[in-house]
Amino acid sequence: MNKFFSPARSAFVASILGATGLLGVGTTLAQNTASTSPATPLRQADFIVAVVNSEPITNREVYMLRQRLAAEAAGLGGKSPDPSELTRAAVEQLINEKAQLQQAREVGIKVDAEAIDQALLNVASSNQLSREDMLKRLAQEGISLGAFREQLRTQLTLARLREREIDGRVRVSDLEVDQFLNEQLKAQAAQLPAQLNLGMVLIAVPENSSESAVKALAERAADVARRAQRGDNFAELAKTFSQTTDQGANGGEMGLRPTDRYPELFLEATRDLKAGEVAGPVRSAAGFHVLKVLERRQVTTLMVTQTRARHILLRPSNQLSQGQAVAKLTEVRQAVVSGKADFAVVARELSQDGSAQEGGDLGWANPGMFVPEFEQTMNRLRPGQVAEPVVSRFGVHLIEVTDRRSAPMSEQEQRTLARSALREKKLEEAYATWVEDIRGRAYVEMREPPQ
């Protein structure tokens, strides 16, 4: 269920944000520009690898994109991609990009300097840098301002083309939302137990009771069951006959709870009963039970797993490098885990975040409320666990999960998230079809294999 409600970034969105490497969500500018750093000089000769509608793709372009794709894969962890696969992916991405840019020119899409200026500021902001600091970082990585602005122009052009060709054509109807929610509710109902409220009258059978005494108690229980079945007030019967101190006083009501929290004996006896019907007497080690189904309720609203976490945030600066921030929070974690420090106290002292005054408490959060790198780490923790420091676009975090719960969603929340998920799915499908169509209509001539 939660998998559905975690907003996945579609191929459509990823292609816009991630194509330059510098626009990627959740990565730092230093990470994204590392692939074009002078530290990895281009040694291969430059030549034409392919031609797309008479426009060439050079070996240098393939090399640079391949390096960036490798850096992005390394940033995600896991097994390193096969070099030949990276090369094929880079060539195919460049072919698609060239074909799309050509179409953008044909339909008259242009990006002015003001839009590029704003995009540049957005990239700086997402990397927690001023415009001046970002330009310095680019220079350190060997990327000229002109080249970077041209990358931004390309990505903005592609984004506008895709908005024009895809976004406006994707619609999600109310009927589709209804059908989707019904499917999700059915899937959830299959996973979550129904809720049940039983009334009970217990005629206790003391240990070592004689056969005649047990028989008499069984007859009393059967009489109670007959009275309940003919419509006598069950609560009054419980107060009069039941030999349980708490439920007798409560009219025998056991309370609405998931079915898996009832004894299997009770569930078996009442499995086929509707609300208002009576079962029993049922014999257990405690005695004879007369059971009445007071309420049977199936979950009719989607549930979402909410997490309550707190964090300590350190923002790298000229006075505090990212490495120093990680080292500092590693020390804090060791002190917290060993019991030498209190997380909330340290958060109030150190955290550079608005939550500091609350001891780092971020409150209850639905899936998707935090940036991916933060949320992925948080989701791996059990309540009471503290993660190793994690780096996000906002800085370095020390995260502790304090609690987790399943909570119902309002109807509006359900419909909003369902519509968003359906639209995301349709965008992915429409984008894939659109890319294939443009690729199919382009004249592509493969020349020399890239090196």
Model pLDDT for residues 256-274, shown as the tens digit of each residue: 888 888 999 999 999 889 8
Residue 7 confidence (pLDDT): 32
Strand ordering across the sheet containing 390-392: 361-365, 303-314, 395-408, 390-392
pLDDT of 286 over the 70 cut: yes
Asked whether the predicted pLDDT for residue 145 surpasses 60, the reply is yes
- More confident site: 259 or 174: 174
Residue 128, pLDDT score: 63
pLDDT tens-digit readout, 202-234: 999 998 899 999 999 999 999 999 999 999 999
pLDDT of residue 256: 86
3-state secondary structure the chain: CHHHHCCCCCHHHHHHHHCCCCCCCCCCHHHHHHHHCCCCCCCCCCCEEEEECCEEEEHHHHHHHHHHHHHHHHHHCCCCCCHHHHHHHHHHHHHHHHHHHHHHHHCCCCCCHHHHHHHHHHHHHHCCCCHHHHHHHHHHCCCCHHHHHHHHHHHHHHHHHHHHHCHHHCCCCHHHHHHHHHHHHHHHHHHCCCEEEEEEEEEECCCCCCHHHHHHHHHHHHHHHHHHHCCCCHHHHHHHHCCCHHHHHCCCECCCEEHHHCCHHHHHHHCCCCCCCEEEEEECCCEEEEEEEEEEECCCCCEEEEEEEEEEEECCCCCCCHHHHHHHHHHHHHHHHCCCCCHHHHHHHHCCCHHHHHCCEEEEECCCCCCHHHHHHHHCCCCCCECCCEEECCEEEEEEEEEEEEEECCHHHHHHHHHHHHHHHHHHHHHHHHHHHHHHHCCEEECCCCC
Token pair belonging to 263: 């004894």
Is the pLDDT score of 424 beyond 80?
Answer: yes
- For 9-55, the pLDDT digits (tens) are 333 333 333 433 334 333 334 334 433 434 444 445 689 999 999 89
pLDDT tens for each residue of 322-360: 889 999 999 999 999 999 999 999 999 999 999 999 999
In order of their start, the domains of the chain are 2-171+428-446 (1.10.4030.10), 193-297 (3.10.50.40), 304-408 (3.10.50.40)
Which pLDDT score is estimated for 32? Answer: 41
At residue 77, the pLDDT reads 61
- Kindly report, residue by residue over 243-257, the tens digit of the pLDDT: 876 655 678 898 888
* Of 145, 122, 121, the residue nearest 135 (C-alpha): 145
Contact 294, 201 (CB under 8 A): no
Q: Mean of the per-residue pLDDT values for the chain?
A: 83
More confident residue, 236 or 190: 236
Cα distances (Å, whole numbers) of residue 375 to 149, 203, 370: 32, 53, 6
pLDDT of residue 255: 86
- For residue 223, what pLDDT is reported? 94
Amino acid identity for residue 87 in this structure:
T
Higher pLDDT, 358 or 413: 358
